[in-house]
Amino acid sequence: MTHLIEISDLTLPEIDELIATANDIVANPTKYADACRGKILASLFFEPSTRTRLSFEAAMMSLGGSVIGFADASNSSSSKGESVADTTRMVSAYADIMVMRHPKEGAPLVAGMHSEIPVINAGDGGHNHPTQTLTDLYTVNLERGRLDNLRVGLCGDLKFGRTVHSLLAALSRYEGNSFALISPGELRIPEYLYTKVLGDIAYNETTDLMSVINDLDMLYMTRVQRERFFNEADYIRLRDSYILTAEKMQAAKRDMIVMHPLPRVNEIATEVDADPRAAYFRQARNGKYIRMALILKLLGK
Helices (H), the chain: 12-27, 51-62, 84-92, 107-114, 130-144, 162-171, 191-193, 232-238, 246-249, 280-298
Distance CA 188, CA 261 (A): 18
Q: To which H or E segment does residue 120 belong?
A: strand 119-124
Instruction: Please tell me the distance from the alpha carbon of residue 134 to that of residue 145, in angstroms, as a whole number.
Output: 15
What residues are labeled active site?
Answer: 51-52, 80, 101, 129
H/E stretch holding 69 = strand 66-70
CA gap 8, 232 in Å, rounded: 34
Neighbours of 186 (CB within 10 A): 11
